[in-house]
Structure 1
Amino acid sequence: MSDSSRDTAEGAGWGTTEPGKYRRLMPSKVEKISWLDPRMLWAARNGVLASWFGDPTAGTRSRWAAQRAAAGAPPDKVIRRDDPDRFSFLVIGDTGEGDDPQYAVVPGLLEVGQDTRFAVLASDVIYPVGSADDYGTKFFRPYQDYRAPIYAIPGNHDWYEDLAAFMRVFCDDAPALAPEPRPRPMSRAWLRSRLWHRPRANDGQRLAEARTLRSSPAQQAVQPGPYWAIDAGPVRIIGIDTGLLGTVDAEQGAWLREVSQGPRPKILITGSPLYVDGKHDPCVIDGGGTVDDIVRDPAHHYVAAIGGDIHNYQRYPVRVGGRTIQYIVAGGGGAFMHATHTIPRVDIANVTESEFRCYPLRGDSLSFYSKLYGRRLRLRRFFTLTEAEATAVVAERLEIKPGRAPIPDTRITLRTRLVAGLLGTGRRPDRAKRFRLPVRKIYTQLFSPSSATYSPPFFKCFLRLDVTPESVRLRCYAATGNRAQEIDPPVEDDVTIPLH
């Protein structure tokens, strides 16, 4: 097995290495997303409109569900497969930007996942707004050689065009949704409807051609809707749709409570992680309660909750009663990298720093962002931190053990500390916020996507889960964009989860 980022800097993808062959999979012309483009911001306005004028997602989702039920989808929305008691599947989160970081994941994924029974895409299948004509280069092309079915749950970006393309691709080419009832003039809903972004009239003209890339019978799968459950071997995998604003409507909440019943071990896949960046976000259900209430209920037998949306990997082993539930962030499948060096020293729900895992390591994240800021601000000499310097200063500021063995004689200077502070590294969140450049919120929403790097290391990842009647072994594999990690993808985290 090759070195991981926890072993060496080379294992993290730093240094002079042979570039991977992923570019051979890419189309000759790649459209790069820029969130600084006013046209892009205007197209992606629905999330803001929903927060200002009310979120229509619940009603739209309910109409999609009713339409699928009328077409013959199972009322319980359970996909019953014939998987054996021992099988494997993949989870890939936040994939669809269609550029170098997404395609860099593919060679390792095909190598590791060649014997898996299916894959699940967890959140944001297509950026920027989930358009049908983007599926060719951002879904069908990159995964054309994955020979098993792919299921998906939508993220907020897939909802920017009312989920129309997602339903066509994953739900048996569902027909267009009937328009919603006309709102009362001059009401908030009326104002929202006047400004709401909708699919282009001719969107999807290239979809039939794109489908031929994944046309093998072994690759086909039909979902009952944007949320579903899969009975696979000894486990039930439940995928929920958290819509535009990261919540669950009452109808889906009632369904979730129902399919969570019974002694069968369960794994949740969600677009909004329940533990992330050292904080608890239980995911509110309209009408009362939270998703995490359901996950924690011992009668439901959940063993893990895996969420996308945040573009890195994190794991929190939370002890609930006499058992441990693994709460995982797995959004590193292709979109620009969210920082991990801004995560404070972990101490939440009895999970300490020694039990917490993340990828990229905080030091690699800080080094990555220091180089990015150095390029963008044309202050390379000031901002750029080597991976050794970044690893050392993160360990000092967070008072934690270094992510990998420190290089002897690495000096932590005043400049090193200043850059780390400016880029948001601090033991306590309030300490990091006193004075820093925008990294986590404004930067990642606006500047970070437009500043995505197109040369390794990318710090992308995907999960492989190996299921037996006794346990689930979960491994996080890295994808750096370098050839060595394509041939032998390094394991960044490895945990075995008992099922009983």
Structure 2
Amino acid sequence: MAVRASDVSRIPGRRTRPGPPSETPPGKPMVSWFDPAVLVKSGLKALLSGTFGRQADRRLLDAVSQPQKLAFDYSLDASKHPRDELWLDYVSDLGDGWDSTYAVASTVMAPELELTDDSGRTHVTRGGDVLVFGGDEVYPTASVEEYQARTVVPYEDALNRRRHRPHLFAVPGNHDWYDGLVSFTRLFCQGRFSSGWRTQQRRSYFALKLPHGWWLLGTDMQLESDLDAPQVRFFQKVAACMEDTDRVILCNAEPAWIKQQVMPHAGRGFLDNNIDFLERKVLGKKVSIFLAGDLHHYRRHEDADGRQKIVAGGGGAFLHPTHLPKVDRRPGGFELKECYPPQRTSQRLTWRNLLFPVLNPWFSAFMGVIYTLLGWGIAANLNEGAVGAPSFREVINAALQSTGSLVLGAGVVLGTVAFADGRRGPLWKKAAGVVHGLAHVAAALLLTWGVSAIAAPLAAELQWSLRRDFLSGLLLLGGGALVGPLVVGVYLLLSLNVFSCHPNEAFSSLSIPDWKNFLRLHFDTEGQLTVYPVGFRRVPRKWKRGSGPEDPVWVPDPADTRATPPRLIEPPIVISRTKALPVKPETGPPGPMVMMEDEHPPGGAV
């Protein structure tokens, strides 16, 4: 797909510059996570945001400077009458490549959507009156320009006045925090105009009062997975407004029930304890539905009481595997009911890492340079007075005599140890890192041996005037760009499919835009909640301008015959209107509610 740079003038609150319409979508390709420039930029931003975030928590400042309504009331219509029904869409982990993000956005923004399940039954759904972004609204790091190109423009073009603008609420994820939440606050918490949505919140956390005794709470766990004191007090006040029979949908940026499995040696983490804290000490009742993203796939767990824990992080970011972490059963009696893509498919997709050199060209070039630096000094030593091809023992002896190669080889091993996955413990991390690093050193020595064997006759045959050392360097650069990333690809393939490690790295290297998903929630006239999990097996790769008045700006090109329409991942999940299960608060019920300025629940018309 041809792409062009986004027009920064389209940032909400700025006037769009007139110009001739383009015939190519104004998007960006999927983030190449193994691009050295992306790695350095993302790493620095993560380091800085983590350092300053601990010292200057923006949530504490917003609690003082940004008064917010205690609850946005969608249980009433514009006439202040009880609302019979409500449609709500949940999209998480969006703002990556154009194809995947826009495919989801154009479906979410459609006035009506017919969905077919595996049995062939058709379900007619409506576009949500409320839209919730569940975390990580942009990749790779937060900035005004990235939000504009990867999030704002796709949703504006997808809506294109086809229906009313939904009310938008956003939960921040770790990628939103990489600039200290500055861009997130500007886009979602200041009431800026956008033709794709209408923002309501003034802080990074919120509460929605929904029809028939349902509530949706959106939290902000920052980078340290903790709840700040003003946020706790805020949700205590919200809990004081709830009836005993009310039911809660809790939206976190990360799924604690799976994250604790990632690092089993660390025990229960802050995020998992915070969920217990919210249920026991703040809400005084068990959460009926947990929604989270962060993992870019669909996975649903259910307990015997019908409580749901759903991961739906398929709003546009690269695909994550479903066969790791292995979480068929979770504490509390939760059992895995469905995952998308299926685990066997996820295992097969991992084999694409054998194409690592092709999928990550800039990283391949970087590895070519590393291998050249490792082997060039060795080749130069071998070239001095060499007659014929050297033996491999001579290559090793030359390597031991090259100080630069020894230092760089040690650096490679240290780097791979730092890169290794620590979920199996520190000893495993060191062992896996050393093996990976030594594999690179061995591959570089073998490559140097082969280059030294062919460089002299090749140079003589072509009658080059350049020295043999220069030809050796060229061959090492090309060979290293192929062999080095291939070693990384094999390492990631074995790590994930054999040793159950590196799920993030093994799939971020692939940048798969397919297998996307979002959730459509329907609160009906009987108070029953139906969750429609919508999946996209293969998103379109080609687009053309829409021609009809009810079309979005861009529609799939019929020439892209491999694209598949959205359909239900599994049959709709029906949750009857029953009383929420109580838990005994450990510190007594919340104190009396103290209303802040402008906290009175409105009669929110959508």
| Normalised-by-shorter TM-score class | 0.5 to 0.7
What corresponds to 2:447 in structure 1?
A: none
1:292 equivalenced with 2:276 (yes/no): yes
Whether the 8 Å contact between 1:272 and 1:283 is mirrored in structure 2 is no
Q: CA deviation at 1:159?
A: 0.7
What corresponds to 1:307 in structure 2?
A: 292
Structure 1 gap ranges (5+): 1-23, 175-210, 380-417, 426-431
Alignment of 1:256-405 (within 5 A): 256-261=235-240, 262-263=242-243, 264-276=246-258, 279=261, 284=270, 290-295=274-279, 299-300=284-285, 302-319=287-304, 323-344=305-326, 346-349=328-331, 351=333, 355-370=336-351, 372-376=352-356
Q: Per residue, is there more helix in 1 or in 2?
A: 2
**Distance across 2 between alignment mates of 1:423 and 1:289:** 30
What corresponds to 1:95 in structure 2?
A: 94
What corresponds to 1:80 in structure 2?
A: 73
Q: CA deviation at 1:296?
A: 6.2
Q: Deviations over 1:341-363 (max 9, x none)?
A: 2232613225476x532111101
Q: CA deviation at 1:167?
A: 1.0
1:148 equivalenced with 2:154 (yes/no): no
Alignment of 1:99-498 (within 5 A): 99-109=98-108, 110=110, 111-112=112-113, 114-144=126-156, 145-146=158-159, 147-172=165-190, 213-214=195-196, 219-234=197-212, 235-261=214-240, 262-263=242-243, 264-276=246-258, 279=261, 284=270, 290-295=274-279, 299-300=284-285, 302-319=287-304, 323-344=305-326, 346-349=328-331, 351=333, 355-370=336-351, 372-376=352-356, 422=494, 424-425=496-497, 432-433=498-499, 439-441=502-504, 443=505, 448-453=507-512, 458-468=514-524, 469-480=526-537, 481=539, 487-498=565-576
Q: CA deviation at 1:475?
A: 1.8
Q: What TM-score do you get using the length of structure 2 for normalisation?
A: 0.55
Give the structure with higher Rg (CA): 2
- Local SS of the residue matching 2:347: helix
Whether the 8 Å contact between 2:211 and 2:527 is mirrored in structure 1 is no
Whether the 8 Å contact between 2:292 and 2:312 is mirrored in structure 1 is yes
Alignment of 1:1-20 (within 5 A): none
- Local SS of the residue matching 1:451: coil
**Distance across 2 between alignment mates of 1:228 and 1:220:** 15
**Distance across 1 between alignment mates of 2:511 and 2:493:** 22
- Local SS of the residue matching 1:154: coil
Whether the 8 Å contact between 1:315 and 1:328 is mirrored in structure 2 is yes
Q: What letter corresponds to residue 492 of structure 1 in structure 2?
A: E
Whether the 8 Å contact between 1:96 and 1:138 is mirrored in structure 2 is yes
Distance of aligned partners of 1:346 and 1:247 in 2 relative to their CA distance in 1, 3 Å threshold: same
Q: CA deviation at 1:493?
A: 5.0
Whether the 8 Å contact between 1:463 and 1:476 is mirrored in structure 2 is yes
Distance of aligned partners of 1:26 and 1:490 in 2 relative to their CA distance in 1, 3 Å threshold: farther
What corresponds to 1:206 in structure 2?
A: none
- Local SS of the residue matching 1:101: helix
Say what the alpha-carbon RMSD is for the aligned residues. 3.4
Q: CA deviation at 1:367?
A: 1.7
Whether the 8 Å contact between 1:167 and 1:173 is mirrored in structure 2 is no
Q: What TM-score do you get using the length of structure 1 for normalisation?
A: 0.65
Whether the 8 Å contact between 2:85 and 2:523 is mirrored in structure 1 is yes
Q: CA deviation at 1:158?
A: 0.6
**Distance across 1 between alignment mates of 2:88 and 2:27:** 31
**Distance across 2 between alignment mates of 1:99 and 1:450:** 18
**Distance across 2 between alignment mates of 1:65 and 1:348:** 35
Q: Deviations over 1:347-387 (max 9, x none)?
A: 3225476x5321111011112222x21322689xxxxxxxx
Distance of aligned partners of 1:345 and 1:265 in 2 relative to their CA distance in 1, 3 Å threshold: closer
What corresponds to 1:4 in structure 2?
A: none
**Distance across 1 between alignment mates of 2:216 and 2:345:** 33
**Distance across 1 between alignment mates of 2:223 and 2:103:** 28
Q: What letter corresponds to residue 250 of structure 1 in structure 2?
A: A
% identity of equivalent residues: 24
Q: Deviations over 1:113-169 (max 9, x none)?
A: 643211101000111221112222222222123432221111111111111111111
Whether the 8 Å contact between 2:49 and 2:180 is mirrored in structure 1 is no
Distance of aligned partners of 1:464 and 1:115 in 2 relative to their CA distance in 1, 3 Å threshold: same
- Local SS of the residue matching 1:56: helix
Whether the 8 Å contact between 1:57 and 1:244 is mirrored in structure 2 is no
Structure 2 gap ranges (5+): 1-21, 78-82, 114-124, 160-164, 360-489, 541-560, 579-606
**Distance across 2 between alignment mates of 1:310 and 1:226:** 20
Q: How many residues align?
A: 370
Q: What letter corresponds to residue 296 of structure 2 in structure 1?
A: H
Q: Deviations over 1:387-427 (max 9, x none)?
A: xxxxxxxxxxxxxxxxxxxxxxxxxxxxxxx99983634xx
Distance of aligned partners of 1:252 and 1:26 in 2 relative to their CA distance in 1, 3 Å threshold: farther
